Structure 1
Amino acid sequence: MSRKRPPDDGDELLTRLGALTAQARERAELQRSLVELAVALQRGMLPSDMPVAPGFHLAVQYAPAFQGLNVGGDWYDAFTMPDGRIGLSIGDVQGHNIEAAAFMGQVRVGLRALASVTSEPGELLCRTNDLLLSLGTDLFATCTFMRLDPSAGVLESARAGHIPCVWATADGKSGVAEDEGGPPLGVQKGQDYPVTRYRLDTGGVFVLVTDGVVEGPSLSADEGLDEVVRLAGVAAVAGMDADSLAAAVIKGAERVGHEDDAAVLVVGHDGPGVRR
Structure 2
Amino acid sequence: MTENSFYALPQLLQAVRRVANENGLPVEIRARLVLSVTDVAVGELSAGRPIALRTTREAGSHDDSPVLVIALRAPRALRPLSTADLPLPALATGPHSVIWRVPVPKAEGSSLPAPRPITDGARPHPTAEQALEEELRATVARADALTAEHRRLKHELAETNGGVLALYVQLEERDEQLRKAHGQILRELEDALRPQPLEIDGLELAVHYAPADPNAPTGGDLYDWFALPDGTLHITVVDALGHGVRSTRSALNVTHAVRTLALEGHALESILARTHEILMPLAPELMATVLLARLDPATGKLQLANGSHPPALLLRADGTSEYLEVRGRGIGYPLPGSEELLNAEVHPGDLLILYTDGLTESRRDPCEGELRLVEAARRHAGCPLADLPSAIAADMHTVVLHPDDTLALAIRRTHPSP
State whether TM-score is above 0.5. Answer: yes
CA displacement, residues 148-206 of structure 1 (integer Å, 9 cap, x when unaligned): 112221110001110111111122211222322x1111234664542100101121111
Name the counterpart of 2:370: 225
Cα distance in 2 for partners of 1:36, 1:152 equals: 41
The answer as to whether partners of 2:354 and 2:408 remain within 8 angstroms in 1 is yes
The alignment status of 1:248 with 2:394, answered yes or no, reads no
Cα distance in 1 for partners of 2:244, 2:372 equals: 28
Secondary structure in structure 1 of the residue aligned to 2:280: helix
CA displacement, residues 90-121 of structure 1 (integer Å, 9 cap, x when unaligned): 12111111111122222222221221112532
Cα distance in 2 for partners of 1:150, 1:119 equals: 20
Deviation of 1:63 (Å): 1.5
State the one-letter code of the partner of 2:288: A
Name the counterpart of 1:198: 344
| CA gap 1:219/1:12 in 2 versus in 1, 3 angstroms | closer
Higher normalized contact order (CA 8 Å, seq sep 6+, divided by chain length): 1
Name the counterpart of 1:3: none
Name the counterpart of 1:271: 415
Q: Which runs of 4+ in 1 moved over 6 A?
A: 11-26
Cα distance in 1 for partners of 2:388, 2:353 equals: 9
| CA gap 1:168/1:190 in 2 versus in 1, 3 angstroms | closer
Secondary structure in structure 2 of the residue aligned to 1:61: strand
- Stretch deviating more after TM superposition (227-236 or 106-115): 227-236
| CA gap 1:268/1:17 in 2 versus in 1, 3 angstroms | closer
Name the counterpart of 1:64: 211
Secondary structure in structure 2 of the residue aligned to 1:134: coil
Name the counterpart of 1:44: 192
| CA gap 1:242/1:43 in 2 versus in 1, 3 angstroms | same
| CA gap 1:21/1:251 in 2 versus in 1, 3 angstroms | closer
The answer as to whether partners of 2:329 and 2:335 remain within 8 angstroms in 1 is no
Cα distance in 1 for partners of 2:172, 2:343 equals: 56
Name the counterpart of 2:406: 262
Secondary structure in structure 2 of the residue aligned to 1:203: coil
Cα distance in 2 for partners of 1:13, 1:229 equals: 56
The answer as to whether partners of 1:75 and 1:92 remain within 8 angstroms in 2 is yes
The answer as to whether partners of 2:380 and 2:391 remain within 8 angstroms in 1 is no
The answer as to whether partners of 2:306 and 2:338 remain within 8 angstroms in 1 is no
Cα distance in 1 for partners of 2:390, 2:397 equals: 11
Cα distance in 2 for partners of 1:83, 1:272 equals: 16
The answer as to whether partners of 1:120 and 1:147 remain within 8 angstroms in 2 is no
Deviation of 1:82 (Å): 2.5
| CA gap 1:230/1:18 in 2 versus in 1, 3 angstroms | closer
Deviation of 1:241 (Å): 4.2
Name the counterpart of 2:274: 127
- Report how many residues are paired: 263
State the one-letter code of the partner of 1:211: D
Deviation of 1:261 (Å): 1.4
Cα distance in 2 for partners of 1:97, 1:162 equals: 20
TM-score if structure 2 supplies the norm length?
Answer: 0.56
Q: Which of 285, 299, 309 is residue 162 of structure 1 equivalent to?
A: 309
State the one-letter code of the partner of 1:221: P
The alignment status of 1:214 with 2:360, answered yes or no, reads yes
| CA gap 1:174/1:93 in 2 versus in 1, 3 angstroms | same
Structure 1 spans left out of the alignment, 5+ residues: 1-7
State the one-letter code of the partner of 1:45: L
The answer as to whether partners of 1:73 and 1:104 remain within 8 angstroms in 2 is yes
Cα distance in 1 for partners of 2:213, 2:342 equals: 34
Deviation of 1:219 (Å): 4.3
Secondary structure in structure 2 of the residue aligned to 1:187: coil
Name the counterpart of 2:300: 153
State the one-letter code of the partner of 2:342: T
State the one-letter code of the partner of 1:63: A
Cα distance in 2 for partners of 1:223, 1:211 equals: 12
Deviation of 1:127 (Å): 1.7
Secondary structure in structure 2 of the residue aligned to 1:197: strand
The answer as to whether partners of 2:235 and 2:292 remain within 8 angstroms in 1 is yes
Cα distance in 2 for partners of 1:227, 1:94 equals: 25
State the one-letter code of the partner of 1:248: A
| CA gap 1:268/1:94 in 2 versus in 1, 3 angstroms | same
Cα distance in 1 for partners of 2:294, 2:199 equals: 13
Secondary structure in structure 2 of the residue aligned to 1:43: helix
The answer as to whether partners of 2:329 and 2:336 remain within 8 angstroms in 1 is no
Question: What percent of counterpart residues are identical?
Answer: 27
Name the counterpart of 1:4: none
Name the counterpart of 2:248: 101
Secondary structure in structure 2 of the residue aligned to 1:108: helix
